[in-house]
A and B are shown apart, each in its own frame.
Chain A
Amino acid sequence: MVATFPLGLILLFPALGLIFNLFLGRRVGRAAVNTVGSGVIGAAFVVGVIAFVQLLSMPAGEALSSTLWPWIEAGSFKIDVALRFDALTAVMVLVVSGVGTLIHIYSTGYMAEDEDYARFFTYMNLFVLSMLTLVLADNVLLMFVGWEGVGLCSYLLISFWYTNSQFAYNGRKAFIVNRIGDAGFVLGMLTIVWALSSRGVWTLNFVELHRNIGLIAPATATLIGVLLFIGATGKSAQIPLYVWLPDAMVGPTPVSALIHAATMVTAGVYMIARLHFLYEVTPEAMELVAMVGGVTCFFAATIAITQPDIKRVLAYSTISQLGYMFVAVGVGAFSAGIFHLMTHAFFKALLFLCAGSVIHGMSGEQDMNKMGGLAKKMPITCVTMWIATLAITAIPPFAGFFSKDLILSDAYTSGHWFVDLLGLVTAGLTGLYMFRLMFMTFHGISRVDEKAAHHVHESPRAMTIPLMVLAVLSVVGGWVGLPDGIAWGNAFARFLTPAVGIFKPSFGASELMLSAESVSTTLIGVAIAYIFYLRSPGLATVMAWRVKALYQLLLEKYYIDQIYDVLVSRPLFFIAQYVLFRGIDHYTIDGVVDGAGLTVEAGGETVRRVETGNVQHYALVYLLGAVAIAAFYLYRVLR
């Protein structure tokens, strides 16, 4: 049973904002662009809320749907531009448009001095539009449209300040790395069509796929799962395709917040949750997802510890937190993954916006070594960022605690002890790097330049209000998913169950014990951060010097960029330059084309000598021809 609802409205508003800002933005002035740019996302959020309320009033398992127009029809293969709004989509739409709205409002303050505000809001609107398309799509192909859309927007926004060639380079890097993942996604999608069409089913519609998943052989399902996961590693910044995300930090900070919190990077997690029925039939692919998630989670957290750039720490923390989400979906706890996705959206958006507020106040400074003691100058930013920090480090009762705890306990009870261990250690590392960030930025002695110190100021109202709203969400956001048995229990998981199925633990375990474990590891990390960065700040430098090799390894991010450069980029450039360009294009293709011309020219040059212009030569040839013909017939007659 499916009810209709004008879901197209959710997409229409951002689309209108996009068109308005694109064509009129430069003419109507800043105030109108700010209002329209943020307003349309807010409107999408309101429609989303109405749809959500209607969904709640319907029996569990039903969904709103709306077919906009038929798209592709080829024989029995038929794809519509159709939207579907079930519990999973509801969560995503509300998070994307809700957090998106706050980020847009914040941007009106952050971009107040930028000349290119119209272009900025055009891209932002397109970004949200793409992400909403991605989560509302009722088939894989339309989802892919949104998938590509967010990739494009990330490129446009990362290289927003395109006059800086390094920024433009980072934008291209994001785009190309994503393209590698997208190739996996496309192959996965085609494999689905191939596998099902051989059994007579032509569809990419999620509901239809779910119904026919039994027709796909397990081995093929594994292949599809792995290929789609490659797409997810690109979009959601997992090993090995995470390298674009830290470099994405050069974009304006609201963009980082939008990419990292509400949109884009969550796409991979969402995709796996959306196709949970596919992953459920292939334990091998699930195992891979969980393992990659766990390793990424730990790996990124270790890098985050040493980074001096406030935004880079947050970038690696995003990669790490996404690792948690992949652990969740990898062990089959899809609702836990989406839960963490939601709470992460709140506190990570808040962290980025706070970092943006700090950078704004510091006139563009991002190096934490040049901060310190900012708490007094920026009280609102400091308090809200502390809330976000407590949320991400999973201190109860902040939002992150419930989701991260659920993931760790689900990983443990599903028997993935190694992944669980990685997650636990990472919880400690999270405490370390987040508290380090806070101590270095807001507390201790000030290392701010004399000149910059003069300007340090709290951000305007447009920026602090979204911070406060997100701070509230970072506190209460986790309360929808309390551990079972307390108050309303895990209402969030119950709400999502019809859409993503239910988690089946292999064995029971004391939730309290597991929580105590993760909280205590976190506290150890916090304690280390306190000793090293607040009580005796010199100690960190001494330690770094003691284990210089390790410190250098982490500071240089395991030299992954350099390794990729040598192993991937350079060979590719070499092949492009010497094999493809010189060898194939220049010598082979150009050679054939030029050769054809040269052959004709040389041939003409040779045979033109026949044309002497002397009538008698022509007559001679004519005679010879006549003799030859006569001889031929004579020969035939005489023979």
Chain B
Amino acid sequence: MAPPSYFMGLSAILFCIGVAGVLLRRNIIIIFMSIELMLNAVNLAFVALSRAWGSVDGQAIVFFVMTVAAAEAAVGLGIILSIYRNRETVNADEINLMRW
């Protein structure tokens, strides 16, 4: 059985890839996928630590995260869809409604 630090390392790498994707990519769909990646990186860390410490708390939280993520995905995709319908684009640079 691989030691927990391996899992943690993988989790950190996945999280950083997610962060980079959110910050650098322009396509909202990709940004959205990157967010999912970050969430799942965290899930991986939870599960790994849950097993390492012999506790189910981490696994329980992972279920919550997955449910919330599912709901968030539904809402998020809905928003993206409606933005696309309105503005004919999914490029984050062109969506600046929050500008002053």
Cβ-based interface call for B13 (8 A): no
Q: B17-37: contact bitstring with A at CB < 8 Å (1 yes, 0 no)? A: 001001110000001000000
Cβ-based interface call for A615 (8 A): yes
Complex: A626 Cα to B82 Cα, angstroms = 30
Cβ-based interface call for A164 (8 A): no
Cβ-based interface call for A611 (8 A): yes
Complex: A623 Cα to B31 Cα, angstroms = 15
B98–A613 touching, CB < 8 Å: yes
Point out the residues of chain B lying under 8 angstroms from A614, CB to CB. Answer: 92-93, 96, 99
Point out the residues of chain A lying under 8 angstroms from B95, CB to CB. Answer: 615
B23–A613 touching, CB < 8 Å: no
Main SS at interface, chain A: helix
What distance in Å separates the Cβ of B74 from its nearest Cβ neighbour in chain A? Answer: 19
What distance in Å separates the Cβ of B66 from its nearest Cβ neighbour in chain A? Answer: 23
Interface residues on A, range: 10 to 19
Cβ-based interface call for A619 (8 A): yes
Point out the residues of chain A lying under 8 angstroms from B93, CB to CB. Answer: 614
What distance in Å separates the Cβ of A609 from its nearest Cβ neighbour in chain B? Answer: 9
What distance in Å separates the Cβ of A128 from its nearest Cβ neighbour in chain B? Answer: 70
Given known contacts A612-B99, A613-B97, A613-B98, A620 and B23 CB-to-CB distance under 8 angstroms: yes
Point out the residues of chain B lying under 8 angstroms from A611, CB to CB. Answer: 98-100
B100–A616 touching, CB < 8 Å: no
Within 8 A of B (CB), among A600-617: 608, 611-616
Complex: A619 Cα to B25 Cα, angstroms = 12
B92–A613 touching, CB < 8 Å: no
What distance in Å separates the Cβ of B29 from its nearest Cβ neighbour in chain A? Answer: 14
Complex: A611 Cα to B97 Cα, angstroms = 11
Complex: A616 Cα to B19 Cα, angstroms = 10
Q: B79-100: contact bitstring with A at CB < 8 Å (1 yes, 0 no)? A: 0000000000000110111111
User: B19: nearest residue on chain A (CB-CB)?
Assistant: A623
What distance in Å separates the Cβ of A250 from its nearest Cβ neighbour in chain B? Answer: 65
Complex: A614 Cα to B22 Cα, angstroms = 12
Complex: A304 Cα to B99 Cα, angstroms = 83
B96–A613 touching, CB < 8 Å: yes
Complex: A613 Cα to B98 Cα, angstroms = 4
Complex: A613 Cα to B24 Cα, angstroms = 16
Complex: A232 Cα to B31 Cα, angstroms = 89
A619–B100 touching, CB < 8 Å: no
What distance in Å separates the Cβ of B48 from its nearest Cβ neighbour in chain A? Answer: 20
Point out the residues of chain A lying under 8 angstroms from B31, CB to CB. Answer: 615-616
- Pick the contact of B99: A613, A619, A623 (CB < 8 A): A613
What distance in Å separates the Cβ of B32 from its nearest Cβ neighbour in chain A? Answer: 11
User: B24: nearest residue on chain A (CB-CB)?
Assistant: A616
B100–A613 touching, CB < 8 Å: yes
Complex: A623 Cα to B35 Cα, angstroms = 13
What distance in Å separates the Cβ of B24 from its nearest Cβ neighbour in chain A? Answer: 8
Complex: A616 Cα to B28 Cα, angstroms = 10
Complex: A619 Cα to B35 Cα, angstroms = 11
What distance in Å separates the Cβ of B6 from its nearest Cβ neighbour in chain A? Answer: 21
Point out the residues of chain A lying under 8 angstroms from B100, CB to CB. Answer: 608, 611, 613
Given known contacts A623-B19, A623-B23, A616 and B96 CB-to-CB distance under 8 angstroms: no
Point out the residues of chain B lying under 8 angstroms from A620, CB to CB. Answer: 23
What distance in Å separates the Cβ of A600 from its nearest Cβ neighbour in chain B? Answer: 15
Complex: A620 Cα to B23 Cα, angstroms = 6
Complex: A620 Cα to B31 Cα, angstroms = 13
A619–B96 touching, CB < 8 Å: no
B92–A616 touching, CB < 8 Å: yes
Complex: A608 Cα to B31 Cα, angstroms = 26
User: B35: nearest residue on chain A (CB-CB)?
Assistant: A619
Point out the residues of chain A lying under 8 angstroms from B23, CB to CB. Answer: 616, 619-620, 623
User: B97: nearest residue on chain A (CB-CB)?
Assistant: A613
Complex: A546 Cα to B99 Cα, angstroms = 91
9 A–B pairs (Cβ distance < 8 Å), ordered by A? A613-B99, A614-B92, A615-B31, A615-B92, A616-B31, A619-B22, A619-B23, A620-B23, A623-B23
- Which 4 A-B pairs rank lowest in CB-CB distance, beginning with the nearest? A613-B99, A613-B96, A613-B98, A611-B100
Known: A611-B98, A611-B99. 9 other contacts (CB 8 A): A608-B100, A611-B100, A612-B99, A613-B97, A613-B100, A614-B92, A615-B92, A615-B98, A616-B22
